[in-house]
Structure 1
Amino acid sequence: MMIGLVYGALFFWPVVPSKPNVGDLPAYKIKIKPQSGLASISQQLQEQGISTPSIPFQIAARALFVASKLKPGTYLLPNNASLGAILLQFSRGDRVKESIAIIPGMTIWQLRNLIDSHPALIHQTKGMSANELMQTLNLNYPGLEGIFLPDTYIFDPDEPDISIYRQASQAMQKQLSQTWPQKESRSPLKTPYELLILASIVEKETGRSSDRGLIAAVFTNRLNKGMMLQTDPTVIYGIGSKFDGDLRKADLRRDSAYNTYMRKGLPPTPIAMPSKDSIQAAAHPALSNALFFVAKGDGSSHFSQSLNEHEAAVDKYQRKSKATSH
């Protein structure tokens, strides 16, 4: 009976913030380090301004059978929480979570800036070269562009930023390994990396998702016929940070590895992070003989099989909306 009363008292033991003004907040953050024992967790709580005497803390944890179940991480604790309630929260791993979103079409420069500036990450990779980051991730690609799958990634506060790169690169490798064996037999693509390159072009060229398969078909048909891809986004990618938003005729005549107006075939690397939908479209293009498309000005495109039809569409839609033709 007495033991039960003691355990009951410990469960409802009030946890009182000892830092000034903390008691006025509805909740407060506490961080528990990885591989911490009971005594260490109690000490960490005290150091962060929470009044938790070590002996009652350890007794209560054992009484609730959670002594070996307390999980590290950042927790948001209610200001009026009891010792028992906090211990159960620690054992459930009911932690604060952060997120970061990789947007389809984002370039590696944009992604690195996004990760470098996220306040909840530990920035271990900031300043790393592309090769250093590639080696850290144990990857072997011509570059970092395109190899991280767009998605929203959830993580614990103060997690190393390399974990985001690792999650996103592993997700992309999984996506490619699932999609590549199922690609259409008429596809001219020779490797999963070429699939990634084509998917990145489809991503940057797609204004309306319903056109994605047809855009993939145009580039697939051009590759199969040995035609130049003649796609503006690759030229813009080759210009890089110097691009001022206005693609000029001189840019199309300036040779570079990414100028698909002057060189046949795919560019040497992806030009952005393609979505799952663009990867699927590149592997399974629509059944179409279209070789050309022009933006109509409303997000959609007009597709043509012949040059004459295409030129008529360019006259119609460019004069109307000053769209870019391909």
Structure 2
Amino acid sequence: MGKLKLSLLNKWELDKDYNSVFNSVMLHDGRAFVLTSEKETFNLYCLLEVSPLGVKEIDAWYCDHVWEEEPLLFTDGQNIGIIKAGKEIVYYTGDFSNPEIIAIKDPQSILPKKAQERYFQIVSDSDQIPVCFENQVYTNQARNFALLEFDREKKQAKWTTYSHIDKKDLNHHDTNSSFCPKIDSMKSWKQELYAFSSGESQTSVNKWGMDYYALVKISSDGRIIEKLLESEHLKALGKKAGVNGIFTDSPYLILSPLLKNDDWKGKQKLFSLATREWCDIALPRGMSKHKLQNMTDNFCLTFLYDRGLKELALCRID
């Protein structure tokens, strides 16, 4: 197992009280963008730009129906967009000061009426953008996904499919339950679709742990094509355990253990989609409490959370 060593470019204490990082994107020039919200005004979403010059808020907007209308941040490598409530894209170009509003064509032709968008981290290197949704039972989880086709030149967008992960090929799926696997994060990479699932249990993972987790390559209708990672039946081992996973703007998946006293000692690891190899993370000195949130081939974004978002940092990959 290799080790990814990071050197600090700069870090910043935030001058506002924000919640956690909801999702993030990184551009190839090393800039990062973070979606969060104000801690005291929970329905005020904020878009932050993190660059070597510092952290600045480039947009903020109120949402009257936060639970139903979570926004989702994505990038094409140069520009960024926010998908709002499955109905429109706010597309930022140039200096990001005057975004365009692009309506998503006839969303209800594909999306169920009660489908609610979730801001779980997604990554795409093509015009196909995977988006996580919750339907019928609302517990701030995602068990469904849809694919959005976005033509950046014509400024047109439409949903093409809505589905869930077919769990029958997962070794530890619950045969007595109709619930689909949960989806932590999704990625469209080299014309293939990947998802990380944190199991399917309905109980609180923080209290009871996960039943299993898996990294899978899937088809657009949710069939499992390949299992890249699959855990044991964690609850059968007799102890609380689990791992969450989010994709990055690089070939790496960030894996974060649920507990600090598990076999990983609370430390994050990386898994490469390109090489299928594991990698440890060596954070800069004095930043052991920071967590890796996103990365490109050369740069990465970390954050410090302590009952709120306290610090953001940009690091170089050595």
**Category of TM-score, reference length = shorter chain:** under 0.3
- Structure whose CA Rg is larger: 1
Structure ranking higher in strand proportion: 2
- Higher relative contact order structure (alpha carbons within 8 Å, sequence separation ≥ 6): 2
Structure number having the greater helix percentage: 1
Q: Give the structure-2-normalised TM-score.
A: 0.26
User: TM (normalized to structure 1)?
Assistant: 0.26
